Amino acid sequence: MEKYRCRCEYIYDPAVGDPKAGIAPGTPFLDLPDTWVCPLCGLPKVNFVKLVAGVIKVKVKCFSTLVKADACDYQGSTEYEMPERATIRDLIEKLQLPVEAIKLVFLNGKEAPVDTLLKDGDQLGFSPATGAM
């Protein structure tokens, strides 16, 4: 059965259920009552997304000269699906960004090397050599 992840990282596993909230093991996520909330953070069901095996989702922003209108903007983040075990470099290649022009890579707000493995929910920012940050 499919697992669902809350915004807070909590994962609902139907095999486990949520016994403390009276949800028996074997209860599919979609059968949870609408009154059920995340046992960790209290958010309602609408904040959960289905986990697809082997696929992670990351959000990307590009700054200054790296901005590509449809692929990587600086105002809103663009969400991309990547295979598990993909690195930041793989993402750069997928976006067809000029890797030599990328001076700074931000991973969840901190500088990171391009060989870093991506995790589900990561937020990335790419910045060129020029431009004040």
> Which one-letter DSSP state was computed for residue 21?
G
User: Left (φ > 0), alpha (ψ -120 to 50) or beta: where does 108 sit?
Assistant: left
Q: Considering the rule CB under 5 A, would residue 8 count as an interface residue with Fe ion?
A: yes
Q: Considering the rule CB under 5 A, would residue 38 count as an interface residue with Fe ion?
A: yes
Tokens of 27: 């209860």
Calpha distance 12→3 (Å, rounded): 6
User: Left (φ > 0), alpha (ψ -120 to 50) or beta: where does 106 sit?
Assistant: beta
Q: State the minimum distance, in angstroms, from the CB of residue 7 to Fe ion.
A: 6
Q: State the minimum distance, in angstroms, from the CB of residue 43 to Fe ion.
A: 5
Say which residue the tokens 């990587």 belong to: 72
Residue closer to Fe ion (CB basis): 49 or 117: 49
Q: Which of 25, 26, 43 is nearest to 34 (CA)?
A: 43
# of chain residues touching Fe ion (CB under 5 A): 7
Residue closer to Fe ion (CB basis): 22 or 98: 22
Q: Considering the rule CB under 5 A, would residue 21 count as an interface residue with Fe ion?
A: no
Q: State the minimum distance, in angstroms, from the CB of residue 121 to Fe ion.
A: 12
Say which residue the tokens 């596993």 belong to: 13
> Which one-letter DSSP state was computed for residue 18?
B
Residue closer to Fe ion (CB basis): 7 or 85: 7
Residue closer to Fe ion (CB basis): 22 or 44: 44
Q: Considering the rule CB under 5 A, would residue 88 count as an interface residue with Fe ion?
A: no
Binding site for Fe ion (CB under 5 A): 6, 8, 10, 38, 40-41, 43
